[in-house]
Structure 1
Amino acid sequence: MQPIDELDEKFGLEGEVGFMEIEGELPFISISNKYAQADICLYGAHAMSFIPHNNMDFLWMSPDSFMQEGKAIRGGIPVCFPWFGPHQSDSQQPQHGFGRLMFWDVVETQALPNGETLIRMQLQSSDATKAYWPHDFLAEMIFTIGKKLTATLKVTNTSTASFEYGCALHTYYTISAIGNIQMEGLEGLSYYNQLTGEDGRQNEKLLTVNEPLTRHYLNTETPVVINDPAFRRRIVVEKSGSKVTTVWNPGKEATSGIADIPDDGYEAFVCVEATNAFDYTVQLTPGASYETSAILGLEE
């Protein structure tokens, strides 16, 4: 990992971008500009907070998250790469890949002319990554912090052979209570219900969550709106480079068996994820790149 003082000297922007390491915690980048505040952890290139001015945090972080190397961070925007969910053939491999379990290098910070802030981080293939996955690659997480937060995973094939990968930007949204929200934009879409193993189609205009839910909406790039009347806000979840939208909430019973979420934690978040998985993984030829983005903002 890059030393914090060197990062601050090379990439810090006075009054806008700083690097911090709180005792017992993982190091992170703190961003503050005229639009918003944000925190991004160097471990996993993991966005932990996005707070537009005069609003509350978009991102839910578990108070019980394991903030230590070797364990995934719970909440925020985990970067699932180079596979989504369990490994297809080896159950000993880490859930959702290794991207969220490694330190990423900061390679660029920039104050943009429009007042937004750009942060770019990289993870390159190495002996450590090849212990999990045999391919040569360059993965980048590019964050633009403004009125909206744009998080982009760009993957480049630096090898001499084609490869296939899956990914997700596994975003946890802060909500007033799971029973309060309604989600728009999913009507008419086909989905795979991971909890039952069955395929379905959403006929309802609004999705409400009153039981455990793991749905993967297929072949869609449609924005989703999280309407939260109690918080008086409508979060617009846009995406690009993703053909699957995953909506997840574990419900009460499953949450009690998840060590890094409080027993009542399921009440406070919903995940809406920009995913490439199942029949919609990404095929990359040598030298080719592909970008998957999640764009978080308030309805204007």
Structure 2
Amino acid sequence: MPASITRIEDRPGLPELILRHGDAYLRLSLQGAHITNYSPAGQDNLLWVSNSARYQPGTAIRGGIPLCWPWFGANPDLPVRPQHGFARTRRFEVLSQQVDTQQASVILGLDASSEFPEWDGAARLEVEIRLSGHLWMELRTTNVSDRELAVGVGLHGYFRVADCLAAVLPAVTGLDYQDKTADFARRTQTAPLRIDGEVDRVYIDPPSMIELHDPGHPSRLRIQAWGHTDLVVWNPGPDIARALGDFDDGGYRNMVCLEPALALDRRRRLAAGASFAVGQAISAQKGA
């Protein structure tokens, strides 16, 4: 099956890569190694991107799959530092790329061993992305400092749905979660999750495989994740969406964030010289 990787510069200061494998299509920005379009063969983009997203150097893109690193959410030590870390607004370099009959793949890197005003650690970050019959991605962190680092991670996927009010997430049934809308109170999910307003939850010890049931979509979204401790589920609801300058009106109805993560106090304690990885494989099964 033919595959290709093409570099484009349609947006000033934001070079991108287009990966193709057969009829499958993927678009990613080198800023943040940020995937903005994943369209499996014969299907539309599975990812939601705001119509009001800002494509500017140094500004996070609202939608797609931003990478949260080296912390998720607010910095636990200094909350004034950038939400979700700084990787999503930094330019990655292309370390390698390959195309063959099986897939199109690329490895991107970020050297976080130099001075960053937001962080006093030193690490090397690699993101490998493979496009074939599904999307496979892995974020790898290596501690290149001489001391232990605490690293948080989130693969902050925004997934498109026909209507979030009809979407159902059965896989979280029975899981404990921390509810950010209630000062991180710990609760138990007693039934499949339905989005009926603002949702901002960190589910603890989720299963490796989750499915999103969307009656308005012909395919069922499946995410197989590894290396994570948490699953973050987020939808801003109407009020917060209106307050966000890069969130189009009504856009919250057409998205749900599902995010394999190392969040809150479950950051990875990484010894000097050690590495770890967090990844996911995303697919959509027609007629499932």
Superposition TM-score tier, normalisation by shorter sequence: over 0.9
Amino acid at match of 1:91: P
Paired residues of 1:82 and 1:165 also in contact (CA < 8 A): yes
CA distance in 2 between counterparts of 1:157 and 1:178 reads 39
**Match for residue 187 of structure 2 among 197, 200, 215:** 200
Structure 1 distance, partners of 2:157, 2:8, is: 23
- The question of 1:43 aligning with 2:25 is answered no
For 1:147, the aligned partner's letter is G
- 1:295 matched to 2:270? The reply is no
Paired residue for 2:92? 104
Equivalence for 2:41: 53
Look up the match of 1:9.
none
Unpaired stretches in structure 2, ≥5 consecutive residues: none
Preserved CA contact (<8 Å) 2:113 2:124: no
- Equivalent in the alignment of 2:79: 91
Displacement after TM superposition at 1:112 (Å): 4.2
1:221 deviates by 3.5
Letter in 1 for 2:65: I
Q: 1:251 aligned to 237, 241, 262, which one?
A: 237
Structure 1 residues 23 and 240, CA gap change in structure 2 (3 angstroms): closer
For each residue in 1:161-189, what CA deviation from the matched residue of structure 2 results, as whole angstroms up to 9, or x when unmatched?
11111010000001111112111211110
Give 1:1-300 correspondences, 5 Å limit.
Answer: 16-24=4-12, 26-34=14-22, 36-113=24-101, 115-128=102-115, 130-197=116-183, 198-204=185-191, 206-299=192-285
- SS of residue paired to 1:252: helix
Q: Determine what percentage of the aligned residue pairs are the same residue.
A: 27
After the TM superposition, list the runs of 4 or more consecutive aligned residues in structure 1 that deviate by more than 4 angstroms: none
Name structure 1 gaps, 5 residues minimum: 1-13
TM-score where L is the length of structure 2: 0.94
Question: For residues 58 and 223 of structure 1, what CA distance do their matches in structure 2 show?
Answer: 17
Equivalents in 2 of 1:159, 1:249: separation in Å?
Answer: 37
The separation in 1 between residues aligned to 2:211 and 2:58, in whole angstroms, is 34
- Corresponding residue number in structure 2 for 1:10: none
Deviates more, 1:37-46 or 1:174-183: 174-183
Please give the alpha-carbon distance, in whole angstroms, between the structure 1 residues aligned to 2:274 and 2:260. 21
Give the distance between the partners of 1:159 and 1:63, measured in 2 at CA.
Answer: 40
Structure 1: which amino acid aligns with 2:205? Answer: N
**Secondary structure of the corresponding residue to residue 256 of structure 1:** helix
CA distance in 2, matches of 1:106, 1:32: 17
